Structures are given as structure tokens and as C-alpha cells.
Amino acid sequence: MRTQVVIVGGGPSGLLLGQLLHKKGIETVVLERKTKEYVLGRIRAGILETGFVNLMREAGVAERMDRECFIHRGTTISYENEMFDIDFQKLVGQSVIVYGQTEVTRDLYDAREATGGKIIYEVDNVQICGADSDAPYVTFTADGSSQRIDCDFVAGCDGFHGVSRKTIPDDVRKEYEKVYPFGWLGVLSETPPVHDELIYSNSSRGFALCSMRNENLSRYYIQCTVADHVEDWSDEAFWEELKRRVPESVADKLVTGPSIEKSIAPLRSFVSEPMRWGRLFLCGDAAHIVPPTGAKGLNTAASDVHYLFEGLVQYYEDKDSNGIDTYSQKALARIWKAERFSWATTNMLHRFPNQSDFDLKMQRAEIESLHYNEAAQAWFALNYVGLPY
């Protein structure tokens, strides 16, 4: 089999890239390790930047998103019983939207199926070969047989645990990593959200986040230890702990109910450089991870997709390789800023083991600076709504 671009990974990065390229008449094959149902079962991101929204529109897959999403003009931060709003619209003239990653992925799968784009599910033993030559190819097993696809380029969109990044030789690749000594325990419940904006809460018992998907679907998170297991947390224990970590006025309003999903995510900052090796390009979680505190993971994946899409179109339409040659540099410049923001918000809002009294005072001073200083709020807002591409 032959195609122009093999996309390894059928998560949001791979599917969005595939759809954008399809609109330009560039042929792709997507290889996905799991089933479609499995990918759609993962509950992840909720907040999308304008850049992401624009890419969905450009790909022609924004109709349901534009109809069903919720616009968020700002966000709320709390510390103990204090609460304040950061009004993005007023400060930087932009908003974000709430539209779940599950829905984004569903829309992208529907579009790919409607346009007859090829996706091969449940692939195994994916190997990217000849990426440093002019004739790359990908081998894998599917339906019990070994297969090979020859191509011009390979897009490695296979997430943090994929094979693409590891295809880049050790002496070329440099990885930067910070693992945090805690995780997030998340619950999805069919209850009305407790507040009209998201609440990011710093409390002496640890971080909490009140988020949502729609008027009757709430998403809550609490900081937990790395040793915690989902089975150790009954719904009742989760709600009790959440109530202790938000201001009393919020706890009093909280509507609880059975969880329909409960999971623990570890927190990590990670960047792998470079994001290109020959004809292989890394995109999204395959190249970088942020802790979810800044809501940047899927949004940085989207900026990679944007730069790679532009580069590939320039290559095919204008026979100009400048875009793909500068891909890694452009993508990384934006990613490091999102890494910094995610790391800084994580530091500001979580409790760390062995935090000294001095460390706690510093954290408090940082939150108060944000509370009472409009310039600090504008800086936060600029990063939260997303830096320009």
C-alpha cells in the first residue's frame, strides 16, 4: 500500500491533521492501536482555545461544536474561603470554550468516516522505517497479517506511550522531564455544575478543580497521592473531600450524585526535542506533556497540528520545504511557553510534600498578587486563552 502521509495514532492530533490534509487533497492513512470505542471512552480535556476552535472550523468539523459548546469568558480562583474571577474577555478580549475531548474526537471520527478516509484499528508492532531517508515506510500487523505502507512522511501522533518518539535515535533526542509528587483523581457525574465558571482551588488539603461539560454534566478533580487507587475512593469519600477543599459557599451549593467515570491521572511536564527527524514529525502528547492545571495539553497538540499542516501544504502545493524544515523550531517555541504556564499554575495551586512555611508564604503571596493585580491577571489570561500561533 502507498499513501502520502502515514499518521500513527488516531487520537485528536492524528484525526485533526488527517482531516485538514484531506481538505487539501493530501492522502493519509491513520493507524490506531485501540478500537474506536476505546478511544471515545477516555475522558480528558474540556477546555479549548480559540486556535483549536479555528482549526476545527478550517477542517470543516465544527458544526456541532459551534452549536453545543459553552463559551467561558473567564475563570474563578479560590484559596481557602477567598474567591476571585479573572475576566479573560475584559482583560485580553478573548474567551475559551468548554467542549469535551470525547466530543471533538467523535466529530473527527464521523468526518473521517463520511469522507472515506482510511483508518486501520487495532494495529500492533508498528515500526517506522527509513525516516531518515527519502523513502520512509511503516510496518505493522493488523487482522493477523503483516502489512507495509510506503509514504512521503510519517506523522507521529501516538501519544506519550507511542512508538514514534522512540524511533528517533537516542543520540539525536533530548528529553526534559519533571514528574510531580501527586496525581488528579477525576469524577464525571450527571449533576449540574456548581458554578458558572471553572473554579481552580488552592486549599490546605490540596488542590481541587470544579469543571463541567454541560448543564447536567460536571467534571471535578482533587489532588491525590501517587499511591492512591481509584478503588480506594468511594463516591461519598470523593464528594466529602471535594467539599473540604472549596470555599464554604461553593460546598453548600454542590450537587452530588453517582460517578459515571472515575480515574486518576499522574502529573508530568515533559518535552522531547527535536520534534522532527528526517521525514518523521512528532505531534501532540508524543512530543510533550503538561500537567492539566493550565488546560494546555490538547491545545498544544493543536498548535503542532497547525504548524505541521502548514508545512506539508507548502511542500505539496509550492514544492517548498521551508515549513517542514522549521516545524520543530516553531512548535517548540510555543510549547515551552505553555510548559511554563502549566508548571507555574501547578506550583501555585497544589500542596507539595515537605513544603516549608516559607514555601507556603510564597505560594500565598503569588495567589494574592494574582487576586489584586490586574497586570498579573492579564498575563494569566493571555496564557490561558492561548498564545497566538
**Binding stretches for ligand PHB (CB under 6 A):** 45-47, 198, 211, 219, 292-293, 295
C-alpha cell at 45: 480535556
Among 29, 104, 163, 209, binds ligand RFL (CB under 6 A): 163
Site string for ligand RFL, 78-107 (x = CB under 6 A): -----------------------x------
Site for ligand RFL in 139-158 (CB under 6 A): 157-158
The least CB distance from residue 375 to ligand RFL, in Å, is 25
Among 186, 206, 323, 386, binds ligand RFL (CB under 6 A): 186
The residue at minimum Cβ distance from ligand PHB is 46
Long-range residue pairs from 102-106, CB within 8 A, at least 24 positions apart, any chain: 102/40, 102/42, 102/43, 102/44, 103/64, 103/65, 103/68, 104/12, 104/45, 104/48, 104/56, 104/65, 104/298, 105/11, 105/12, 105/15, 105/39, 105/40, 106/40
In the annotation, is 296 catalytic? yes
In the annotation, is 384 catalytic? yes
265 binds ligand RFL (CB under 6 A): yes
Looking at the Cβ atoms of 196 and 252, the one nearer to ligand RFL is 196
Q: Which residue has the cell 500492533?
A: 124
**DSSP class of 294:** G
Looking at the Cβ atoms of 72 and 330, the one nearer to ligand PHB is 72
Interaction partner, residue 208 (ligand RFL, ligand PHB, none; CB < 5-8 Å by kind): none
Q: Rounded to whole angstroms, how far apart are CA atoms 220 and 224? A: 13
Backbone phi, then psi, for 306, in 5-degree steps? Answer: -60, -50
Torsion of CA 183, 80, 381, 370, to 10 degrees: -120
Interaction partner, residue 293 (ligand PHB, ligand RFL, none; CB < 5-8 Å by kind): ligand PHB
Contact stretch for ligand RFL (CB under 6 A) within 73-81, 86-94, 161-169, 326-334:
161-169
Cβ atoms of 120 and 31 closer than 8 Å: yes
- Alpha carbon 226 to chain centroid, angstroms: 21
Looking at the Cβ atoms of 19 and 211, the one nearer to ligand PHB is 211
Cβ atoms of 280 and 128 closer than 8 Å: yes
Interaction partner, residue 308 (ligand PHB, ligand RFL, none; CB < 5-8 Å by kind): none
Label the pairing between strands 5-8 and 74-79.
unpaired
193 binds ligand RFL (CB under 6 A): no
Interaction partner, residue 348 (ligand RFL, ligand PHB, none; CB < 5-8 Å by kind): none
Q: Rounded to whole angstroms, how far apart are CA atoms 10 and 90? A: 37
Q: Rounded to whole angstroms, how far apart are CA atoms 218 and 366? A: 29
11 binds ligand RFL (CB under 6 A): yes
In the annotation, is 72 catalytic? yes
Contacts of 353 (CB under 8 A, 6+ apart): 181
297 binds ligand RFL (CB under 6 A): yes
Q: Rounded to whole angstroms, how far apart are CA atoms 379 and 386? A: 11
The least CB distance from residue 105 to ligand RFL, in Å, is 8
Torsion of CA 321, 324, 327, 329, to 10 degrees: -50
Interaction partner, residue 11 (ligand PHB, ligand RFL, none; CB < 5-8 Å by kind): ligand RFL
Q: Which residue has the cell 476552535?
A: 53
Catalytic entry in 12, 136, 291, 292: 292
The least CB distance from residue 221 to ligand PHB, in Å, is 7
Catalytic (active-site) positions: 72, 200, 292, 296, 384
Tell me which residues touch ligand RFL (CB under 6 A). Answer: 8-14, 31-34, 39, 44-47, 101, 123, 126, 157-159, 161-163, 184, 186, 265, 284-285, 292, 295-299, 301
